[in-house]
Amino acid sequence: MSGKVLVLHGPNLNLLGTREPDIYGHETLADIDNGLREHALLAGWELSSRQSNHEGELIDAIHAARVDGTVAIIINPAAFTHTSVAILDALNAFDGSVIEVHLSNVHKRESFRHHSYVSLRADGVIAGLGSQGYHAALEALIKKG
C-alpha cells in the first residue's frame, strides 16, 4: 500500500535548531523534513512538507490536500494548536487521517499549552518525543496502509 502524506509545520518552527534548543532540540526543520521524506520513500510513500508562520497559508494547504490525493496530514500547528478554531475547521473538512505532533511534551509545560483545538479532530496525538514523534506518526500511517 502506498499513499501521499502532507506534513505541516506551524509558526516559528522554521527556527528549529536555534530556537530554545533545550526544549526543541538541535535538529533543523530541513533535517526533520529530509529524514521524513526518506522514511516515506523507503515505504513507497510520497511525502511533502510545508512550514508557515501564517494561519491562512496553513489553512490553504489543508484545503489543497482535500483535492490532490493526500491521504493523511501530520501537523504540528505550534502555537496555533492552542488558538486556532480556523485550522480545526479546515481539518474537519479534510477526509483523510490527521495526526497531531508536538516536539515537546506540552502537558509538562505552561497550562495554556495543555488545550489543543486540533486534538478535537486528530486521530492520534504525539507529544514529547522530539522529531521521533513525526516518524512515529508516519510509521503508524504506513502500518495502517
- How big is the site for ligand DQA, counted in residues (CB under 6 A)? 10
Which position among 9, 24, 117, 134 bears the catalytic label?
24
Instruction: Judge residue 73's burial from the number of C-beta atoms within 10 Å of its C-beta, 0-12 exposed, 13-18 middle, 19 or more buried.
Output: buried
Which position among 26, 54, 102, 115 bears the catalytic label?
102
Q: Which of 39, 50, 66, 113 binds ligand DQA (CB under 6 A)?
A: 113
DSSP label at 80? G
Residues 20-79 binding ligand DQA (CB under 6 A) are 76, 78-79
Among the listed ranges 37-45, 47-55, 86-94, 96-104, the one in contact with ligand DQA (CB under 6 A) is: 96-104
Contact 72, 3 (CB under 8 A): yes
Is 82 among the residues known to form the active site? no
Distance of closest approach, residue 80 Cβ to ligand DQA, in angstroms:
8
Distance CA 66, CA 64 (A): 5
Q: Which of 49, 52, 70, 81 binds ligand DQA (CB under 6 A)?
A: 81
The 10 Å Cβ neighbour count of residue 138 is 24
Three-state secondary structure call for residue 9: strand
Is 134 among the residues known to form the active site? no
Q: Which of 74, 87, 106, 141 binds ligand DQA (CB under 6 A)?
A: 106
Distance CA 29, CA 25 (A): 11
* Crossing angle of helices 85-92 and 55-67, rounded to 10°: 0
What residues act catalytically? 24, 102
Query: Which residues in this chain contact ligand DQA in the complex, by CB under 6 A?
Result: 12, 76, 78-79, 81, 102-104, 106, 113
